Amino acid sequence: MILNLITPFQKITKTVAWLEVDTTVGNFVIEPEHAPMILTLEKDSNVVFCLASGKREKVLVKSGIAHIKRDSVTILGDL
């Protein structure tokens, strides 16, 4: 699954096995073939993801939204 982190100044693309986001309606773990949706991310929350290699990483998102598709997740926000 492809993870795109997009800010006004940069775009980061990673291949991930899964990711976890904190939203205004709760915590979601996103895996490949997840139901498509758009979520508002909780302010100052971490997006945790597992790379295809098995290594876990996290990124602090100050504010943003996540657009989830079956094979990708795009996070538009302020990192």
In the chain, domain spans: 2-78
* pLDDT given at position 20: 98
Dmax (CA) of the chain: 30
pLDDT digits (tens, 9 = 90+) for 50-75: 998 999 999 999 999 999 999 999 99
Chain segment 13-37, per-residue pLDDT in tens: 999 999 999 999 999 999 999 999 9
Give the number of other Cβ atoms within 10 Å of residue 11's Cβ.
9
Instruction: Evaluate whether 19 touches 73 at the Cβ level (below 8 Å).
Output: yes
Regarding the domain delimited by 2-78, which CATH topology (the fold level of the hierarchy) does it fall under?
ATP Synthase; domain 1 (2.60.15)
Predicted pLDDT of residue 25: 94
